[in-house]
Amino acid sequence: MNDNPFIVQSDLTVLVDVAAPRYAEARDALARFAELVKSPEHIHTFRVSPLSIWNACAAGMSAAEITGALTEYSRFPVPANVTSQVNDFAQRFGRVRIERDAHNGDRLLVHTSDALLAEELAHGKQLAPLLSNRIAPTTFSIRHLDRGRIKQALIKAGFPAEDVAGYTTGESLDVALRTQTRTAHDFALRDYQVQAVHAFHALGSARGGSGVIVLPCGAGKTVVGMGVISAVRESTLILTTSVSAVRQWISELLDKTDIAEEMIGEYSASIKDVRPITVATYQILTHRARKDAEFTHLALFDERNWGLIIYDEVHLLPAPVFQVTATLQARRRLGLTATLVREDGREDDVFALIGPKKADVPWKVLERQGWIATAVCTEVRVPLAEPLRMHYAVAEARNKFRIASENPDKTQVVRDIIARHAGEPALIIGMYVDQLEILAEEMMAPLITGTTPQLRRDALYEKFRAGTVPALVVSKVANFAIDLPDASLAIQISGTFGSRQEEAQRLGRILRPKPGANQAHFYSVVTGDTVEQDFALKRQLFLCEQGYEYQIADAHEFS
């Protein structure tokens, strides 16, 4: 028996021995086509799924490469049914094509070369109404408005479509990347950013133009977005998570492209300025006067002849924007994210409506190359004080989590961690505003929550960047798309149950490259022997998949 790390099982799970000599390289190979399910101390469990295989295929992997990786790192022979199922999943990708009629350019066709598959699709409950116009045994004509709905239905049926119908031409936009920023720094795309732009754009062909770029926070997803804008050179709508993120996009565009300021518009609650490049928030697009009213601002999608729509933090895409995007398949669509994990399980809708994964660089690879900071992750376990134990014991499940999350003894641990890292710019991140208010008062640190006015948020972020505010206490509003490059210490005191995406985003706040040692520290303070500790294990899954290990420490080790 060899000492390879994989034990490949017939149910498509892969057990990975973290003590095996080739563990790190094997994990990096496996993460390209499988998803981490659980990660206790010694044996991690990954699962191969149809969607994980389809994303791998879309990113350029072949079935032979996937089965080759399983064979190379496996301790025992790979079960024959696993090889067969991987091949089957991979062969399903692209068996159905959406293309433009060669004889009538205005007509869209759904085509497969497999007559039996065509019959199966024609009789499918969801697909039959959309494929009613059959013009040949294996070809159907479809309405333009149904292009997205058909792709959604096809992926649910297990046959993700290859969409090569192409895109409409948007309004022309004269824009290029600078070689020197407005702040007088040399500027050029890094190699992996260039590769991501090329993978998405595909020289303007119909095989490019839709998909998702997955890069860790701090690796320059915004820069990749600007690279795509300069490649497409058409009017662009950028959707992001907050007004702060909107203004960061505008600042970056002005700093790193030659676009004139009057060509960029902000579309938010306070400003509604539609320009050739318009940056809007998801919140404004999904706003409506009452629950049963229309979404007033979704009309923004029709305001101009957009050539490109960029979905920042695409893993947060709200349902109404999904619905609109289903009818916008003729527009180029770029998704940007640090993780494709969605807590609502709609990863397949991202694949169908935005596009497949086009590029994905492992976090640890960029860390080794120095493009993001080296991060040490530590879970600090705090005991629950005696007076609270009975209260916790008799509480309902949801209240148990909150009692554990708001453990008042966490405050001293936060003090001790900051003392250990004296002088390092710190973010203290939590979920419960009452807890954050108490902590901010005791730490004498500014607090930013959802109710903090935008002008004050921007002022505090700027003071933090300038070093005049050494620590910020922040709620969930700081999870996404906030550029605080000097932050090197993050202390998480409460979170959203087992949210893997939130864990990744919060670590991402401190991964911007730093001068000197390029070192960052991420602490998650949890109440030991409670449901919060159980949820912490689930939160850490995505980062463990990326190669991060959580050290476990007791609170007394910091006192």
pLDDT tens digits along 501-516? 788 888 878 888 877 7
- Both 122 and 240 in one domain: the answer is no
What are the phi and psi torsion angles at 401 (to 5°)?
-60, -40
pLDDT for residue 505: 82
Length of the chain: 559
End-to-end CA distance of the chain: 47
Are 122 and 131 spatial neighbours (Cβ–Cβ below 8 Å)?
A: yes
Q: Is the dihedral of CA 269, 272, 273, 276 positive or negative?
A: positive
Contacts of 481 (CB under 8 A, 6+ apart): 240, 241, 242, 244, 245, 248, 312, 313
* Angstrom distance (rounded) from CA 350 to CA 503: 20
Select from 273, 271, 296 the least CA-distant residue to 285.
Answer: 296
Q: Is the dihedral of CA 504, 507, 508, 509 positive or negative?
A: positive
- Both 288 and 404 in one domain: the answer is no
- Both 197 and 229 in one domain: the answer is yes
Q: Mean pLDDT of all residues in the chain?
A: 90
Q: Is residue 178 part of a domain?
A: no
- Both 141 and 66 in one domain: the answer is no
Q: Is residue 186 part of a domain?
A: no
Confidence at 289, pLDDT banded by 50, 70, 90: confident
* Angstrom distance (rounded) from CA 262 to CA 279: 13
Of all residues in the chain, the percent with pLDDT exceeding 70 is: 99
* Angstrom distance (rounded) from CA 137 to CA 116: 10
- Both 206 and 337 in one domain: the answer is yes
Contacts of 83 (CB under 8 A, 6+ apart): 67, 70
pLDDT for residue 476: 82
Select from 543, 519, 527 the least CA-distant residue to 495.
Answer: 527
Are 157 and 119 spatial neighbours (Cβ–Cβ below 8 Å)?
A: no
- Both 78 and 196 in one domain: the answer is no
For residue 411, give the CATH number of its domain.
3.40.50.300
- Both 200 and 310 in one domain: the answer is yes
Lowest-confidence segment of 278-282, 453-457, 522-526 by average pLDDT: 453-457
Are 125 and 52 spatial neighbours (Cβ–Cβ below 8 Å)?
A: no
Helix (H, G, I), strand (E, B) or coil at 300: helix
Confidence at 375, pLDDT banded by 50, 70, 90: confident
Confidence at 294, pLDDT banded by 50, 70, 90: confident
Q: Is the pLDDT of residue 200 over 80?
A: yes
Instruction: Give bridge partners of residue 542 from the DSSP assignment.
Output: none
Mean predicted confidence (pLDDT) in 19-33: 90
Q: Domain count of the chain?
A: 4
The DSSP code sequence of 41-84 is SSEEEEE--HHHHHHHHHTT--HHHHHHHHHHHBSSPPPHHHHH
Q: Is residue 16 part of a domain?
A: yes
Ramachandran category for residue 211: left, alpha or beta (phi over 0 → left; psi -120 to 50 → alpha): left
What are the phi and psi torsion angles at 181 (to 5°)?
-70, 165
* Angstrom distance (rounded) from CA 491 to CA 424: 12
Q: At 500, which amino acid appears?
A: R
Task: Measure CA 495 to chain center.
Answer: 18
Q: Is residue 511 part of a domain?
A: yes
- Both 470 and 411 in one domain: the answer is yes
Mean predicted confidence (pLDDT) in 483-493: 83
- Both 216 and 138 in one domain: the answer is no
* Model pLDDT for residues 386-413, shown as the tens digit of each residue: 889 999 999 998 899 999 999 999 999 9
pLDDT for residue 480: 63
Q: Is the pLDDT of residue 428 over 90?
A: yes
Query: Residue 141 corresponds to which tokens in the numbers above?
Result: 């004509």
Burial class (CB in 10 A: 0-12, 13-18, 19+), 434: exposed
Mean predicted confidence (pLDDT) in 301-306: 93
Query: Residue 499 corresponds to which tokens in the numbers above?
Result: 């949210």
Count CA atoms closer than 13 A to 102's CA, side-chain side. 2
Q: Is residue 547 part of a domain?
A: yes
- Both 522 and 384 in one domain: the answer is yes
Contacts of 548 (CB under 8 A, 6+ apart): 363, 364, 375, 377, 507, 540
Count of other CB atoms within 10 angstroms of residue 105: 9
* Model pLDDT for residues 108-147, shown as the tens digit of each residue: 999 998 999 999 999 988 899 999 799 999 999 999 999 9
Q: Is residue 169 part of a domain?
A: no
Contacts of 477 (CB under 8 A, 6+ apart): 242, 448, 449, 450, 452, 457
Q: Is residue 158 part of a domain?
A: yes
Ramachandran category for residue 423: left, alpha or beta (phi over 0 → left; psi -120 to 50 → alpha): left
Confidence at 1, pLDDT banded by 50, 70, 90: low
Confidence at 554, pLDDT banded by 50, 70, 90: very high
Confidence at 380, pLDDT banded by 50, 70, 90: very high
Mean predicted confidence (pLDDT) in 268-290: 91
Mean predicted confidence (pLDDT) in 337-343: 83
Last residue of a domain, one of 144, 163, 182: 163
- Both 59 and 100 in one domain: the answer is no
Last residue of a domain, one of 361, 384, 410: 361
Last residue of a domain, one of 54, 77, 92: 92
* Model pLDDT for residues 61-90, shown as the tens digit of each residue: 999 999 999 999 999 999 999 999 999 999
* Angstrom distance (rounded) from CA 185 to CA 177: 13
- Both 210 and 342 in one domain: the answer is yes
Q: Is residue 348 part of a domain?
A: yes
Burial class (CB in 10 A: 0-12, 13-18, 19+), 498: middle
* Angstrom distance (rounded) from CA 120 to CA 123: 5
Highest mean pLDDT among 20-24, 224-228, 429-433, 444-448: 224-228
Are 494 and 533 spatial neighbours (Cβ–Cβ below 8 Å)?
A: no
| DSSP H helix total and E strand total for the chain | 21, 23
Domain with 319, as residue range(s), is 191-361
